[in-house]
Structure 1
Amino acid sequence: EKSEIEELRDKFRGLLKERDELKQILEIEENSKNLREIVYEKDAEISPINHGEFQEEIFQQMVQISNQREYEEFLKAYRLIGRTIFPTKSKRVEMKFETFYRAKYHESHYIILDQAKRGNQLRIFKHTLPHFIPLGEIENDYLNKDVDKFVNIVDDYLQAYVARREEVKLMRQKTGVTNLTSNNAYDLVEFSVDLEESIVDISLTYSNLRSSAPTDVVITQRFEDIENSVTRRKRLKKIEKYFLDMSLIKAFNELFVDL
């Protein structure tokens, strides 16, 4: 008899085979034709939807078609790849994207594809992606030309967003920094560190939303001359590279933990 480990290896090889077969389906043009065969010809607006409500709706659909234990196990294991694509009951196509940070699952995001009434082209029917991801631009550039690239680019944006967000959360939880500010996209992060005789202001800009690394870092040291009501500032360019080369919390720890 096969050992449990051998059985798991066989199952994993099977999943890899399934993954490779899926990639073959998602080839340029050919995959678009395959997807068009199962989309429902109905005119609809492209619209973002409530993430929680839609996730519950998708879960219920998956429960109805996942009564067999083998299929449930397949879905759980295939989740490791981070992406699944399958037809829905309404004959549309659903793309599911899992997000990760530090080997931990976070939220899932969904894109539902439909077929445009004219031109036989795929289009986005609904989605749960954050508004700052340029989904319309990605759709126009790749959806009907190279679906595999479309999926990869969307995944890059989602993984980078979750990584930036979780790094900010870790900073707030682990460092004691209370003045950290950021926006919804986490593409601008600012905070200050109080030293004995000065304050260090740190500003990180993430111009590339497909990356979790900042594109620009500015670190300035402030010296307050209270008697003369004067503030002197000094740019600390030599240490800015720490935040360009390391994660947010690691760079912070390297520079400030032992001060």
Structure 2
Amino acid sequence: MDQLRKRPYPFSGEVNFVQEEDTRLETTRARLSKVLRRHEELKERLSRDSDKMIFLRLQKEFEAARAAQTEEISLEGDQWNDGLLATIREKVHMEADRKATLSEASMPTDPHFQAKVTYRIGNKVICCLDGSRFGIQYETFFAGEPCEIYHCVLESKSFLEKMSVVEHTIPFFLPIREAENDLLSSDAKKFIDYIGEVLDCYVERREQVRLIKELYGNQIGDLYHSLAYNLIEFVLDDFDCKVTVSLRYADLVSVLPSRIRVLAWPVHPSKKISTIERKGFGTTLVQSVPSRLSYAEDALRTMSLPEAYAEIVLNLPQVLRKLFPHLGGL
């Protein structure tokens, strides 16, 4: 690129070469758009039918358990601990054993066993279910408004054996099985809390993307995101410069990106390489060299995506004029 800038005259055929490159890029973009559409269709197919049937069944079971409760206890801070979780597990197994050995008619009245207590820890609700199972219902929110409800049902053959996840309605692309292998047998409380954090952050990232599409969809060109929204990329092409935004999140419990790159590419309105006239030197190529927009990266590092987007767009024309003064249309 440096050598090309030093040449007073363009080599013959350079403009044609750039035009051919533009054509190839447009073809690649069209193919990528088709892949993204197929990706969305596949995601929709994977998230319906059997998954929805499991959700409806578990939702009814959780609703029945909460309707039968005699008390709901809200826990805060250290009240939610391993000891309480052990108590819940013990009660579940004792109730399952009692029902297995006695008929309903001969069951003695025992307030300790008949009490059906539900525990609420923040956005999590823990219910005792039939059999040697108990479930966690995760409630998610965005900007104070409720979003989806997710379920996770745990079971163990005995009080002394490790628990396992028998059913859940958590999206398949979130690492519940990995967390089960790494955490559930050694620290069940940490497993329950971690899954809640993963779901909260997933919904937060997803809703941030949905909001910028809703508010600024006319300014956004191509937009790509991974299923878990821990990789987000989009293009602003409402300007003579094309601005690309790439966000990476360090882990699935992050709501602010850890790796950010915002680049501005000078693009002539005709989509061809632009030229300027220099007195005494003839026509010289103006190179499409991208520039990083540090102010935009700083905004994305500290603000939510919709807030950062508004900040970026507000200052973008002024910043682009300083970076690319030869583009008079900015």
Correspondence for 1:244 = 301
Matches within 5 A, 1:88-237: 88-115=129-156, 120-176=161-217, 177-194=220-237, 196-224=239-267, 225-227=273-275, 228=285, 230-237=287-294
Correspondence for 1:52 = 52
Counterpart Cα distance in 1 of 2:67 and 2:234: 50
Counterpart Cα distance in 1 of 2:157 and 2:180: 13
| Identical-residue share of aligned pairs (%) | 26
- More deviation, 221-230/193-202: 221-230
SS at match of 2:172: coil
Alignment-mate amino acid for residue 296 of structure 2: I
Q: Structure 2 vs 1, CA of residues 223 and 70 (structure 1 numbering), >3 Å: closer, same or farther?
A: same
Which protein is bigger by CA-based radius of gyration? 2
Alignment-mate amino acid for residue 148 of structure 1: K
Deviations 1:192-212 (A, max 9, x none): 223643121111111311111
Counterpart Cα distance in 2 of 1:195 and 1:125: 49
Counterpart Cα distance in 2 of 1:218 and 1:171: 18
The answer on whether the counterparts of 1:200 and 1:221 sit within 8 Å (CA) in structure 2 is: yes
The Cα of 1:88 is off from its aligned counterpart by 1.4
The Cα of 1:185 is off from its aligned counterpart by 1.0
The answer on whether the counterparts of 2:236 and 2:242 sit within 8 Å (CA) in structure 1 is: yes
SS at match of 2:290: strand
Counterpart Cα distance in 1 of 2:121 and 2:191: 20
Correspondence for 1:34 = none
The answer on whether the counterparts of 1:205 and 1:217 sit within 8 Å (CA) in structure 2 is: yes
Alignment-mate amino acid for residue 236 of structure 1: L
Q: Structure 2 vs 1, CA of residues 93 and 211 (structure 1 numbering), >3 Å: closer, same or farther?
A: same
Alignment-mate amino acid for residue 186 of structure 1: Y
Correspondence for 2:40 = none
Unaligned runs of 5+ in 2: 1-48, 75-117, 268-272, 276-284, 318-330
Correspondence for 1:257 = 314
The answer on whether the counterparts of 1:50 and 1:128 sit within 8 Å (CA) in structure 2 is: no
SS at match of 2:140: strand
The answer on whether the counterparts of 1:164 and 1:186 sit within 8 Å (CA) in structure 2 is: yes
Counterpart Cα distance in 2 of 1:137 and 1:190: 26
Correspondence for 1:17 = none
Correspondence for 1:3 = none
Counterpart Cα distance in 2 of 1:219 and 1:126: 41
Counterpart Cα distance in 1 of 2:171 and 2:67: 32
The Cα of 1:70 is off from its aligned counterpart by 6.9
Counterpart Cα distance in 2 of 1:54 and 1:159: 21
Unaligned runs of 5+ in 1: 1-48
Deviations 1:78-104 (A, max 9, x none): 768211112212331111111111111
SS at match of 2:55: helix
The Cα of 1:136 is off from its aligned counterpart by 2.5
Correspondence for 1:82 = 123
Counterpart Cα distance in 2 of 1:134 and 1:250: 29
Alignment-mate amino acid for residue 182 of structure 1: H
Counterpart Cα distance in 2 of 1:256 and 1:216: 20
The answer on whether the counterparts of 2:221 and 2:237 sit within 8 Å (CA) in structure 1 is: no
Q: Structure 2 vs 1, CA of residues 196 and 166 (structure 1 numbering), >3 Å: closer, same or farther?
A: closer
Q: Structure 2 vs 1, CA of residues 189 and 78 (structure 1 numbering), >3 Å: closer, same or farther?
A: same
SS at match of 1:202: strand
Alignment-mate amino acid for residue 250 of structure 2: S
The answer on whether the counterparts of 1:204 and 1:214 sit within 8 Å (CA) in structure 2 is: yes
